Structure 1
């Protein structure tokens, strides 16, 4: 009986401690350098390479993206052309507005509503819902998207995808600015 109570107490303590661990927030990166400014980084041509992994970590799709960013004041356009390893292509055009104080809002034809972003230090967190076609059906999938500026030319991007709070997988990208 005492062993059972000890086991229950240990499991309860572990669950409580796990619940106290907090997810990262942009302010965690406020002191990191170089400082990410979307208007500077996403201006001109870029190339990205990425993978989509399922929740078990298996690579399901590989892709390359050719991007061109253009800004007029606080409004930018990011034109993305995707080429997947199976030969399929896709295009997404973002309109991004710098709202001040590191806040950004983005829209695209396949984004439900808008993407909201907050940049601090070298990091940006985007939150949005993407309308994703899969085998003839369209799903609205939530993205928790993080970008980390490594230097003036390289940025890493990691996005978690979920639906109804269930993890579907991750998208990992490496951007390179020429």
Structure 2
């Protein structure tokens, strides 16, 4: 029969192993930096791309990968110097509609800030090369309640007309699903 002393001597080792495993999992969640795309071309300038009419087609998938909602977005961007407005009109597959108006500001060095009525606080973003990373909290209506969900939004300019977008949605660090879009500049 094992003594109590030998049983407890393994506990610190197990705690350390569990702690290292957890830290490794967190490090794996960190993801890439927008600066890793600095040499990718074509170079993305949001003031140029989001200027004029655009159309996007997208879908929301839950954390299992199931498509929950499909949508089309008709939008128009207008810039006056370093300040821009992006007026988005969503039409969902269930027939519902939504409008979001972004007020954007270019801060220099590829950095942007923005706000919209359903965005909590200020959105912050950075471009490098062909990529744009945009982080914000979205007030999302869900079954009669409003959930504040974190959006980790990545956009990649493919050519002069096409941009792909994928945003990971989470709450309290738990992944809820993804939004995927394809923008076409009209």
Q: TM-score, normalised by structure 1?
A: 0.90
Partner of 2:90: 82
Residue number in structure 2 paired with 1:163:
171
Q: Which runs of 5+ in 2 are unaligned?
A: 1-13
Q: What is the distance in 2 between the residues matched to 1:73 and 1:20?
A: 39
Cα distance in 2, alignment partners of residues 19 and 66 from structure 1: 37
Alignment counterpart, residue 120 of structure 1, candidates 128, 136, 156: 128
Q: Does 1:42 align with 2:42?
A: no
Q: C-alpha separation between the residues in 2 aligned to 1:83 and 1:92?
A: 12
Aligned-pair distance for 1:17? 6.1
Aligned to 1:61: 69
Aligned residues, how many? 169
Residue of structure 1 in register with 2:154 after alignment: 146
User: Cα distance, 1:115 vs. partner?
Assistant: 0.5
**1:103 deviation in Å?**
0.1
Counterpart in the other structure of 1:27: 35
CA RMSD of aligned residues (A): 1.7
Using structure 2 for the length normalisation, give the TM-score.
0.86
Residue 134 of structure 1, CA deviation: 1.2
Quote the Cα distance in structure 1 between the aligned partners of 2:76 and 2:142.
26
Tell me whether 1:73 sits opposite 2:81 in the alignment.
Answer: yes
